[in-house]
DNA sequence: TACATTTACGTAACCAGTTACATAATAACT
DNA sequence: AGTTATTATGTAACTGGTTACGTAAATGTA
């Protein structure tokens, strides 16, 4: 097990480590789904939860709620539609809007998915040592990013350009 | 400022938040470079540092050091070559290997880049509230991932499949 | 009521990583 | 020395995000 260059770089390595961690979660979750349940993808999780809670949502509403761009949601939803997990109906009052909802196929699969989600949650608890310290630190970081983001701060801190 | 759905989800939202944070850093750094220095990209930073320290490295060495796949490094290096920041020479003993090094153009640009990197480091310090708590928590997570990764733990924790 | 603005969604091109596969050079073995 | 295994690099197709641009429907306004 060799040394971790990024970890040795202190602050400088942090952004790369965040990327590495985030990717690890995504790829491993995808692996997990593929072994257990062929055609579901990791980033559908939040869509399932959202539509389970709200029944019907538009593309824009989902994008806002998850703080992602709308094209990201469009791509995601199109794939879910193609695989039969999402139904859509046009808003009779406003023909630009689609109301998205879970299909019967999706609803039928929920109990199985919930088992996976629980396993994921438990795995994460283990990984975080059964405390919420990391969560809290990330919250602080998010809050500070909301006050003034990374670029704004870099611009400000760049000496004599 | 509406509520953050992901943050409200506790453990479940964490992976999405890591992705969101990581992306934010990447996109904002790219923005920063574009405004100040047209043709440099954020993920070149570690390559610059590595080749500044080691002078000559092969694709495989870089990939191992950064813990990325070799195709990732190939793509990255190709772009850096195309823009004239990397020179390569074939190993006379082993014709499969390329020794990569910073070009004169790259070396000449280092002082400017170092100003940017310092600004980034300071911005990160601010964002982390001038303490290393988050760094420490991430280190713990990485260590636990090395012991047993997310997928392994999910598999183990999945009840009665 | 016509025109301008905004909103909702879609598409294209890009970035940054992955896995899976291919190929050529070297090393290892018998 | 010839065959096999390994290593170094390259390529293709994919995931999952982005920004920039386009278009149609709805809304606001002169």
Domains along the sequence of chain A with CATH: 1-36 (no CATH), 40-129 (1.10.10.10), 131-161 (no CATH)
Cα–Cα distances (Å) from B41 to A10, A39, A86, B45, B84, in that order, read 20, 35, 38, 8, 13
**Mean per-residue pLDDT, A23-38:** 91
What pLDDT is stored for residue B101 in this prediction?
A: 96
| Look-up of token digits 């999910």 | B154
Report residue A99 as tokens.
Answer: 């109301």
A104 touches chain B (CB under 8 A): no
A153 pLDDT band, cuts 50/70/90, is very high
**Mean per-residue pLDDT, B26-39:** 90
Beta strands in chain B (DSSP E): 86-90, 98-102
CA distance A1 to B146: 10
**Mean per-residue pLDDT, A146-159:** 92
Report residue B44 as tokens.
Answer: 């070149």
CA distance A161 to B119: 11
The DSSP symbol for B95 reads T
Q: Is the pLDDT of residue B28 over 50?
A: yes
Q: Is the pLDDT of residue B23 over 60?
A: yes
Q: Is the CB of B94 under 7 A from strand D?
A: yes
Instruction: Work out whether strand B86-90 and strand A86-90 pair parallel, antiparallel, or are unpaired.
Output: unpaired
Q: Is the pLDDT of residue B1 over 50?
A: no
How many Cβ atoms from other residues are within 10 Å of residue A109's Cβ? 16
Closest in B22, B66, B121 to A22, CB measured: B22
**Mean per-residue pLDDT, B52-78:** 95
CB A110 within 8 A of CB A118: no
B160 pLDDT band, cuts 50/70/90, is low
∠ CA A26-A28-A34, rounded to 5°: 105
B110 touches chain A (CB under 8 A): no
B7 pLDDT band, cuts 50/70/90, is confident
C17 C1' closest Cα residue: B72
pLDDT digits (tens, 9 = 90+) for A67-87: 999 999 999 999 999 999 999
What pLDDT is stored for residue A10 in this prediction?
A: 80
What pLDDT is stored for residue A8 in this prediction?
A: 82
How many Cβ atoms from other residues are within 10 Å of residue A27's Cβ? 14
Q: Is the pLDDT of residue B113 over 60?
A: yes
Please give, rounded to a whole number of angstroms, the shortest distance from the CA of A90 to a CA of chain B.
25
Cβ contact A122–B157 (<8 Å): yes
**Mean per-residue pLDDT, A131-147:** 94
CA distance A44 to A85: 10
Q: Is the pLDDT of residue B76 over 70?
A: yes
């Amino acid at each position: 097990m060799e040394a971790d260059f990024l970890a040795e770089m202190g602050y400088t390595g942090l952004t790369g480590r965040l990327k590495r961690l985030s990717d690890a979660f995504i790829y491993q979750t995808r692996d997990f789904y593929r072994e257990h349940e062929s055609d579901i993808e990791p980033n559908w999780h939040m869509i399932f939860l959202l539509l389970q809670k709200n029944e019907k949502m538009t593309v824009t509403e989902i994008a806002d709620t998850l703080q992602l761009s709308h094209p990201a949601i469009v791509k995601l939803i199109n794939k879910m539609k193609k695989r039969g997990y999402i139904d859509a109906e046009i808003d009779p009052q406003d023909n630009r809007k689609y109301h998205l909802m879970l299909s019967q196929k999706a609803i039928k699969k929920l109990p199985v998915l919930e088992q996976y989600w629980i396993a994921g949650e438990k795995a994460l608890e283990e990984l975080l040592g059964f405390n919420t310290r990391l969560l809290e630190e990330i919250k602080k970081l998010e809050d500070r990013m909301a006050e003034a983001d990374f670029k704004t701060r870099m611009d400000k801190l760049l000496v004599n350009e």
